[in-house]
Amino acid sequence: MFEFGRDLRKLFEKARESEDLGWLELISADLVQTEARREGVEAGRVSAARPFDGWMRSAALWREHARRTGSRASLERAASAASDAARHTTSLDQTAAAAIESGAIHLLRYDLFGGPAALTAALSDIQSLTCEKAATRSGAAALHARLSARKARLSGETNALMDAGALMDAALHDARLLPPTLADELRLDRAALSLEAGVRRRDARMLDQAGRDLRTLIEAASPDQRPLTRARALALAGAGMAALAALAKDEAAVAQGRALFEAAADQFTPDHSPLDWATVLLASAGADTPLLTLAQAEALTREPGLLLGALVRERRLTAEVALSEAMGDVQGLNGLEAVVRRRLSGPDRTQPLDWAADQIGMARLFMARGRLTRTQPRAVGLMLAEAIETARELGAPALMDRAVLAMPEPMARPA
pLDDT digits (tens, 9 = 90+) for 141-158: 999 999 999 998 888 787
- pLDDT computed for residue 364 by the predictor: 96
First-to-last alpha carbon distance for the chain, in angstroms, is 66
From residue 407, how far is each of 328, 344, 381, 401 by CA, in Å?
A: 22, 21, 7, 10
**Angle 129-135-140 from CA coordinates, rounded to 5°:** 35
Mean pLDDT throughout 402-410? 86
- Of the listed ranges 53-67, 72-86, 332-346, 398-412, the least confidently predicted one is 398-412
CA proximity to 406, closest of 335, 330, 325, 318: 318
DSSP notation for 187-220: HHHHHHHHHHHHHHHT-HHHHHHHHHHHHHHHHH
- pLDDT computed for residue 232 by the predictor: 94
Cα dihedral value 302, 304, 310, 312, nearest 10: 0
What is the Cα–Cα distance from 170 to 240, expressed in whole angstroms?
A: 24
- pLDDT computed for residue 13 by the predictor: 57
**Reported confidence tier of residue 15, pLDDT bands at 50, 70, 90:** low
**Reported confidence tier of residue 413, pLDDT bands at 50, 70, 90:** very low
What region, left, alpha or beta, does residue 290 occupy, with left being phi > 0 and alpha being psi -120 to 50 degrees? beta
CA proximity to 306, closest of 102, 64, 103, 66: 66
Q: Is 90 exceeded by the pLDDT of residue 82?
A: yes
pLDDT digits (tens, 9 = 90+) for 228-257: 999 999 999 998 888 888 877 888 888 888
In the chain, % of residues over pLDDT 70 = 93
**Displacement of CA 30 from its chain's centroid (Å):** 19
pLDDT digits (tens, 9 = 90+) for 267-326: 999 999 999 999 999 988 887 899 999 999 999 999 999 999 999 999 999 999 999 999
- pLDDT computed for residue 14 by the predictor: 52
What is the Cα–Cα distance from 245 to 255, expressed in whole angstroms?
A: 9
pTM of the model: 0.91
**Reported confidence tier of residue 415, pLDDT bands at 50, 70, 90:** very low
What is the Cα–Cα distance from 25 to 22, expressed in whole angstroms?
A: 6
Mean pLDDT throughout 186-213? 87
259: number of Cβ within 10 Å: 13
pLDDT digits (tens, 9 = 90+) for 355-371: 999 999 999 999 999 99
Count Cβ atoms within 10 A of the Cβ of residue 9 and give its class: 0-12 exposed, 13-18 middle, 19 or more buried.
exposed
87 Cβ partners below 8 Å, 6+ apart? none
Q: Do the beta carbons of residue 100 and residue 140 sit within 8 Å?
A: yes
CA proximity to 355, closest of 403, 413, 283, 319: 403
CA proximity to 100, closest of 47, 61, 138: 138
- pLDDT computed for residue 412 by the predictor: 43
Q: Is 90 exceeded by the pLDDT of residue 400?
A: yes
From residue 236, how far is each of 102, 264, 355, 371 by CA, in Å?
A: 27, 9, 28, 36
Chain mean pLDDT for the chain: 89
264 Cβ partners below 8 Å, 6+ apart? 230, 231, 232, 234, 235, 238, 280
- pLDDT computed for residue 201 by the predictor: 79
- pLDDT computed for residue 7 by the predictor: 46
